């Protein structure tokens, strides 16, 4: 058994962990919205205003803080006026990015904003820059947030919503270096400044504007953007980084069938997030030394080849214990980088990519990734603490990832052990924290390929585990391929 130590420094607070780091993303893609979270008001599946009740409850349980919508690539071809008013009269469109299917726009602004109210989370709207207009985006903001008499506010009232909604997060474009218009950073920066000028704060609503940032390690995009876009133009910059096990987009690897080597390359590919965040943060520190502009990782997760027999444009993939480890590593990294990283959104909520929920007809299951969000939820709005980890490596790749935070006088320690054969014992030096109660939860499986199926939906789920408190330390077992959370309370 490997011996792993962690030394906590309770007096050294690193940064506040915004709850939005535990955010989600749902796009008009495959079965994420339609036949996923949205089944329509007339469905026999229990729903509230067309959204599945079981999904609403599951998202509330993990305290979903923010939901990004309507894309993704879809955002830059979405015209919001097609998605309001009487449903049977709504204009249809072709979803050119995702399978060329017909989009009937039955899930639009009202459905999304009401869903966020129902969930108690912040909406995060991604606006259309690639094929839209400044006026279109400006009017969308007016439609959603203006309280007085105006063409857009009156239209909203005509469509049944008297009071404006609160809208904080507004993304101005998505992947404008690619599907959002194939732009150069110089061109996008100018366009960004133009668009954001006309997105106004109405009726006490204050927008938090997000500029489209780079893909992965495109440091040039970040530099050029921040040389042109200043804190008075933007509140944050986005970043997208996906883990592709093989590193080859034309053959990404399967979700449930993979070799141990492919498993370990998934882990090292995920840990690359640390380098990306560190290097982007260094550029941001240079060009925004006041730390006024946040970094939002608004798309992250594993991207595999689609499940056999499913639509190639729908990006449906299963989710195993490997995904749980990937989620734990990423979330621990976001905590560690939370001085700059103010939000993150896993891609995507239901039935797409690293989904936390899968559905099939009336059946629904929670994936191993969902359970990681559950184990980590007390990090939301906690203070990240400095700690010193002595883990172990496999061929140079660190196998242990962890983070520690404090909230309401309690500590939360979240740890993952990525190694497939080595069990470890973790001994935590509490640095004087007077722990009197320890509550451990563990997610593990005998095989990293284990997943929850509709016939066996609870194969991978968290179980309680015990920790031993003695002489200022806490000790807990980390099985091979596991995610563990340990909550410590004072007497």
As annotated, the active-site residues are 175, 299
- Number of helices and strands in the chain (H, E): 9, 26
C-beta of 328 vs 346, nearer to ligand AHR = 346
DSSP string, 218-237: -HHHHHHHHHH--TTT-SEE
* Binding mask of the shown chain, residues 428 to 447, with x at each position contacting ligand AHR by CB under 6 A: --------------------
Task: Return d(Cα 460, Cα 482) in angstroms, integer.
Answer: 11
C-beta of 367 vs 405, nearer to ligand AHR = 367
Which range in 71-79, 114-122, 399-407, 445-453 contacts ligand AHR by CB under 6 A? 71-79
Task: Return d(Cα 384, Cα 296) in angstroms, integer.
Answer: 18
C-beta of 73 vs 372, nearer to ligand AHR = 73
Place of tokens 């807990």: 476
* Binding mask of the shown chain, residues 290 to 309, with x at each position contacting ligand AHR by CB under 6 A: ---------x----------
Radius of gyration (Cα) for the chain, nearest Å?
22
Contact 346, 375 (CB under 8 A): no
From the CB of residue 228, how many other CB atoms can be counted at a distance below 10 Å?
17
Chosen residue from 71, 108, 173, 214 binding ligand AHR by CB under 6 A: 71
The secondary element (H helix, E strand) that includes residue 481 is: none
Which range in 68-76, 277-285, 376-384, 475-483 contacts ligand AHR by CB under 6 A? 68-76
Q: Does 73 bind ligand AHR (CB under 6 A)?
A: yes
* Binding mask of the shown chain, residues 343 to 372, with x at each position contacting ligand AHR by CB under 6 A: ----xx----x-------------------
Write down the least CB distance from residue 71 to ligand AHR, Å. 5
From the CB of residue 382, how many other CB atoms can be counted at a distance below 10 Å?
23
Write down the least CB distance from residue 126 to ligand AHR, Å. 9
Window 310-339: residues binding ligand AHR (CB under 6 A): none
Q: Does 378 bind ligand AHR (CB under 6 A)?
A: no
Q: Does 174 bind ligand AHR (CB under 6 A)?
A: yes
Write down the least CB distance from residue 215 to ligand AHR, Å. 8
Q: Does 103 bind ligand AHR (CB under 6 A)?
A: no
C-beta of 302 vs 341, nearer to ligand AHR = 302
Q: Does 125 bind ligand AHR (CB under 6 A)?
A: no
Residue whose C-beta lies closest to ligand AHR: 72
Write down the least CB distance from residue 99 to ligand AHR, Å. 12
268: buried, middle or exposed (CB in 10 Å: 19+, 13-18, 0-12)?
Answer: middle
Q: How far apart are the first and last CA of the chain?
A: 31
Task: Return d(Cα 169, Cα 192) in angstroms, integer.
Answer: 15
Given CA atoms 60, 443, 437, 412 in this order, what sign does their dihedral have? negative
Contact 26, 350 (CB under 8 A): yes
Q: Which of 350, 379, 296 is nearest to 62 (CA)?
A: 379
Chosen residue from 36, 72, 132, 185 binding ligand AHR by CB under 6 A: 72
The secondary element (H helix, E strand) that includes residue 315 is: none
Q: Does 175 bind ligand AHR (CB under 6 A)?
A: yes
DSSP string, 358-402: EEETTEEEE-HHHHHHHHHGGGTTPEEEEEEEE--EETTEE-EEE
Q: Does 76 bind ligand AHR (CB under 6 A)?
A: no
Write down the least CB distance from residue 240 to ligand AHR, Å. 6
Q: Which of 451, 454, 462 is nearest to 319 (CA)?
A: 451
Write down the least CB distance from residue 199 to ligand AHR, Å. 20
C-beta of 32 vs 336, nearer to ligand AHR = 32
Which range in 58-66, 70-78, 422-430, 434-442 contacts ligand AHR by CB under 6 A? 70-78
| Residues of this chain that bind ligand AHR (CB under 6 A) | 27, 71-73, 174-175, 299, 347-348, 353
């Amino acid at each position: 058994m490997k011996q792993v130590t962690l030394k906590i420094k309770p007096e050294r607070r690193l940064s506040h962990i915004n709850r939005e780091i535990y955010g989600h993303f749902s796009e008009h893609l495959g079965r994420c919205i339609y036949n996923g979270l949205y089944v329509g008001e007339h469905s026999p599946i229990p729903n509230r205003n067309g959204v599945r009740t079981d999904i609403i409850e599951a998202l509330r349980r993990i305290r979903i803080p923010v939901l990004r919508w309507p894309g993704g690539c879809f955002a830059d071809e979405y015209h919001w006026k097609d998605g309001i008013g009487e449903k049977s009269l709504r204009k249809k469109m072709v979803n050119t990015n995702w399978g060329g299917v017909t989009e009937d726009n039955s899930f639009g602004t009202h459905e999304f904003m009401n869903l966020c109210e129902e969930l108690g989370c912040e909406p995060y709207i991604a606006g259309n820059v690639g094929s839209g207009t400044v006026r279109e985006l400006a009017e969308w903001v007016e439609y959603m947030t203006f309280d007085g008499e105006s063409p857009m506010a009156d239209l909203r009232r005509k469509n049944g919503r008297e009071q404006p909604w609160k809208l904080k997060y507004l993304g101005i474009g998505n992947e404008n270096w690619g599907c959002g218009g194939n732009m150069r950073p110089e061109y996008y920066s100018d366009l960004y400044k133009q668009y954001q000028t006309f997105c106004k704060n109405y009726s006490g609503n204050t927008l938090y504007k997000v500029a489209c940032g780079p893909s992965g390690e495109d440091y040039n995009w970040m530099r050029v953007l921040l040389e042109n876009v200043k804190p008075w133009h933007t509140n944050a910059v986005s970043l997208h980084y996906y883990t592709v096990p093989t590193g080859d987009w034309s053959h990404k690897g399967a979700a449930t069938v993979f070799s141990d080597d492919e498993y370990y390359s998934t882990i090292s590919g995920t840990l690359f997030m640390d380098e990306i965040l560190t290097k982007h943060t260094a550029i941001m520190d240079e060009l925004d030394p006041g730390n006024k502009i946040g970094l939002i990782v608004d798309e992250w997760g594993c991207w595999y080849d689609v499940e056999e027999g499913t639509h190639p444009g729908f990006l449906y993939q299963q989710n195993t214990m490997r995904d749980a480890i990937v989620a734990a590593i990423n979330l621990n990294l976001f905590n560690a980088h939370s001085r700059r990283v103010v939000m993150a959104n896993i891609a995507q909520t239901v039935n797409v990519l690293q989904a936390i929920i899968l559905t099939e007809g009336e059946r629904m299951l929670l994936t191993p990734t969902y359970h990681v969000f559950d184990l980590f939820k007390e990090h939301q709005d906690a203070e990240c603490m400095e700690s010193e980890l002595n883990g172990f490596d496999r061929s140079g790749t660190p196998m242990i990832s962890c983070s520690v935070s404090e909230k309401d006088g309690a500590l939360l320690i979240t740890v993952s052990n990525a190694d497939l054969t080595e069990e470890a014992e973790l001994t935590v030096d509490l640095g004087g924290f007077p722990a009197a109660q320890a509550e451990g939860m563990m997610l593990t499986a005998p095989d990293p390929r284990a997943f929850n199926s509709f016939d066996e939906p609870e194969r991978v789920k968290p179980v309680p585990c015990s920790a031993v408190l003695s002489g200022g330390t806490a000790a807990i077992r980390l099985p091979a391929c596991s995610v563990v959370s340990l909550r410590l309370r004072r007497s």
